[in-house]
Amino acid sequence: MSNWIFLKALLRDKIEINKFAKEIKLQPFKVKQIFFEIFKNQNIDIDQMTTISKDLREELKSSFEAISIKLENVVEDWQTTKFAFKTHDWRIIESVIIYHRQKAQHIKENKPKLNRITLCISSQVWCPMGCSFCVTGKLWFTRNLTRDEIISQILFANNYIKNKFWKKEDGILFWVRNVVFMWMGEPLANYDNVKIAVDMMLAQDRLSLGRRHITISTVWIVKWIQRMIDDGMTVKLAISLHAPNQKLREEIIPVAKWTELNDLMKVIEKYIKATDNRIFYEYIMIKDLTDKPELAMELSRLLKGQLAHVNLIPYNENPAMKHFHESSIENIKKFKEILEREGITVTVRDSMWREAKWACGQLGWEKVNSGNEEDE
């Protein structure tokens, strides 16, 4: 039996899982044991699955792998760990762990205490949206990720975190608390696989995450936001807005030509009513383009009276995109003050990882800069 077939079987719904287990003569309680080891004990190495009998472990070794991606490279610092994975068809995808730490409360403590962990995951191989300020969008879009490739990123991260940090003071393993679809790809352009992956994240016998601990970041796709409402997928929603009017939005986000901003705001209003969730708006701060005071006023009028929070993202400059420049600290501060004066809550996003060229909008700069964007 193919390793991938067994894996995909375990990522189906319970009816299909039980049917598949019956076909291969695997008792239901053994399936539960495998689930427990992978999703709760955070093990992806069969030899580490000690709650499973030795005979079953030996049987699994010849027919099963816990994840469908292979680690290609890892780069880490105190704040983050970035993984590059290779898929079965030799494509490269990436994920990044963000470590949130509390400040030390006592002078005697050497360093801040690890509080929670966020994982930013990919949903596609590169991205088809083509946003003018984003290096990733300049690369050759290849395909959607499968549901198991999406979940595999979390399973690998949980296992990595377990080996790195072990347990908290209360004896519970450290694990990914927040999952954000905000790395490579447009999640709603891969709706079906993302929806199944989210269901597995929420399931109590799988990753058991809360709805408010999963965020989907999207550029524009109105019909799929409506589908989220219809399907009851009430996770957090982050809108990559980046401009408060249709003309400027089309200039920096070409696919915005297919959807009127008014239609986007209407479906977002419906989403808020259906979920009572605050919407997060991502807004890129590009010098002399998106950082003008009049745009701050226009943005405040657009979001007035809505459950909204704006994240101002300083543009991350990189060698592959020389025609855009980061807004000045003064302009960002002024933009923020205007929004706050008009009653909009705002955060200025930290510009982490820009030196390594893997901050927001920089992913894949090496390929674009070298002219090898199609070599995948």
Q: Among 16, 76, 94, 109, which one carries the catalytic annotation?
A: 94
Counting the structural domains of the chain, the total is: 2
Domain limits for position 272: 70-370
Q: Among 120, 127, 134, 360, which one carries the catalytic annotation?
A: 360
151 & 15 share domain: no
Selection from 349, 347, 337 nearest residue 310 by Cα: 347
262 & 366 share domain: yes
Which residues have a Cβ under 8 Å from the Cβ of 216 and sit 6 or more positions away? 181, 187, 188, 194, 198, 228, 235, 236, 237, 238
Of 12, 33, 61, which residue constitutes the final position of a domain?
A: 61
29 & 75 share domain: no
Q: Is residue 376 part of a domain?
A: no
54 & 141 share domain: no
CATH code (residue 333): 3.20.20.70
3 HSE (CA, 13 A, CB side): 11
159 & 92 share domain: yes
Q: Is residue 232 left, alpha or beta, with left meaning phi > 0 and alpha meaning psi from -120 to 50?
A: left
Of 30, 61, 92, which residue constitutes the final position of a domain?
A: 61
Q: Is residue 309 part of a domain?
A: yes
Of 17, 39, 61, which residue constitutes the final position of a domain?
A: 61
Q: Is residue 28 part of a domain?
A: yes
Question: Over the stretch 95-147, which tens digit does the pLDDT of each residue have?
Answer: 999 999 887 655 555 678 898 999 999 999 988 888 888 877 677 789 999 99
94 flagged as catalytic: yes
- Cβ atoms < 10 Å from Cβ of 29: 7
360 flagged as catalytic: yes
Question: Over the stretch 22-80, which tens digit does the pLDDT of each residue have?
Answer: 776 778 888 888 889 999 999 999 999 999 889 888 888 877 788 999 999 999 988 89
Q: Is residue 237 part of a domain?
A: yes
240 & 165 share domain: yes
Question: Over the stretch 236-291, which tens digit does the pLDDT of each residue have?
Answer: 999 999 999 999 999 999 889 998 999 999 999 999 999 999 999 999 999 999 99
